[in-house]
Amino acid sequence: MRRTALALLKALAAFAVAVSVAASFATSVAAAAPTAQPPDPAAQLQRLALPGGAGDLPFYVAAVPAQTIPQTAAVPVQAFIAVHGYPRDAQATLRIVQAAVAKAAQAAGGKPPLIVAPIFPVTAQDAPRCRTPGEPEALSGDAQWRCGGWLAGSRSLGGIPPSHGISSLAALDALVAHLARQWPSLRRITLVGFSGGAQLLQRHAALAAQAPDGVTLRWVIASPGSWLYFDAWRPDLGHVSGQVSGDDAACPRFNHWKYGLEGLPGLPDHLAGRDPRDQYRHASIAYLAGSLDSGPGPGTADARLDHGCEAQRQGPYRLQRAQGYQAYTRQVLRPLTPQPLTVVPGCAHSAACVLGSDQAKSVLFAADPPH
């Protein structure tokens, strides 16, 4: 009887410790996340007619809630394009970036920035696998992709006529150009992506069209599942530095698109005669990753992580892959201005935690590098 009671007490003590640890973990994550805010009531769903009869791209457009910024100007000089992840949760992405930008509203120079959140529509047969409740379904006139196609820069599957598809990279270019035409006061457009959206933006930085006149483009790339390399260099996974041989017969396509430039289905016309690697070296880019996004544990969305050999050559999990790419930029690419990686403590794979952190605030509003 005494042994039974003692065992019960030990079990209760262990349970209490476990609860305490879990609560501590939850508190650390919650502390880094922005306060939940409803979307701006003025947010509107609009549609952009993409070039070449490729169909429409829906997007939300809003501004940081007016009460957080002194209204010293009626026109925006800065815009943020917030790109959703694999679940295509554009409204949640809009709210997260609104909250993150509102935390640093004074850093915006007193002028309310635009916040734009595109939605990449997918086909009806794919939608159940990557749909977020409350997001609009694709209309017949929308450009449409596969669930994992848009984040890899693939061409859309439809258009008018159907052969006139458009890559998601070119769709982003069209959105950037549209914002510059619609708001000629803009001087900087920052593209922010988390997870699947970060995958798209990391490739976009290398293949994007030239920025509109008078506008500076910047990319904030947070916790992508895989990266585009420009050669056969891969990190030494034991030290996150050094080169791994590119002739690995066990993974012959490790350097093919979307992981490398081999097999890229033709460069965009605007890159004729130009090197994507050189464009990437000149780009203004900053990287973010969560310190806890480094294994298969709670909150890491490990089931959605690319575990193919091509991605595994870049590292086992998102944090290690980001650190490996940081080594690549420093040792091999050597960009003209630093492309820093900021690791956000206490965050796993959570856009609200990573983008809403104090560390992200300085990244989102970093000064433009000198030209």
- The verdict on residue 247 lying in a domain is yes
- The verdict on residue 18 lying in a domain is no
Judge whether 69 and 77 are in contact, CB under 8 Å: no
For the chain, the C-alpha Rg in angstroms (whole number) is 22
Q: Quick one: pLDDT at residue 109?
A: 54
Cα dihedral 252/256/259/265 (nearest 10): -170
Q: Write out the chain's pLDDT in tens, 371 residues.
A: 434 443 433 443 333 333 333 333 333 333 333 333 444 555 789 999 999 889 999 999 987 654 444 444 458 899 999 999 999 999 999 999 988 888 766 554 556 789 999 999 999 888 999 989 889 889 999 999 999 999 999 999 865 665 568 999 999 999 999 999 999 999 999 999 999 999 999 999 999 999 999 999 999 999 999 999 999 999 987 654 444 444 568 899 999 999 999 988 766 776 666 799 999 999 999 999 999 999 999 999 999 999 999 999 999 999 999 999 999 999 999 999 999 999 999 999 999 999 999 999 889 988 766 55
Judge whether 6 and 64 are in contact, CB under 8 Å: no
Pairing outcome for strands 44-49 and 56-63: antiparallel
- The verdict on residue 26 lying in a domain is no
Which residue intervals of 189-230 are DSSP H helices? 196-207
Strands of 44-49's sheet in order across? 44-49, 56-63, 114-118, 78-83, 188-194, 216-222, 285-290, 341-344
Among 177, 23, 150, which Cα is nearest to 84's? 150
**Paired residues of 145 in beta bridges:** 122
Q: Quick one: pLDDT at residue 176?
A: 98
- The verdict on residue 2 lying in a domain is no
Cα(335)–Cα(369) distance, rounded to whole angstroms? 12
- How many domains, the chain? 1
The contacts of residue 128 (CB under 8 Å, 6+ apart) are none
- The verdict on residue 20 lying in a domain is no
Could you check whether the bond before residue 161 is cis, i.e. omega within 30 degrees of 0? yes
What is the DSSP code string of 22-54?
HHHHHHHHHHHSPPP-PPPTT-EEEEEE-GGG-
Q: The CATH number of the domain where 256 resides is what? A: 3.40.50.1820
Q: What is the end-to-end Cα distance of the chain in Å, rounded?
A: 78
- The verdict on residue 215 lying in a domain is yes
- The verdict on residue 1 lying in a domain is no
Residue 152: which domain range? 33-364
The 3-state secondary structure of 234-289 reads CCECCCCECCCCCCCCCCCCCCECCCCCECCCCCCHHHCCCCHHHHHHHCCEEEEE
Q: Which two tokens stand for residue 22?
A: 């879990």
| Single-letter amino acid, residue 363 | V
- The verdict on residue 102 lying in a domain is yes
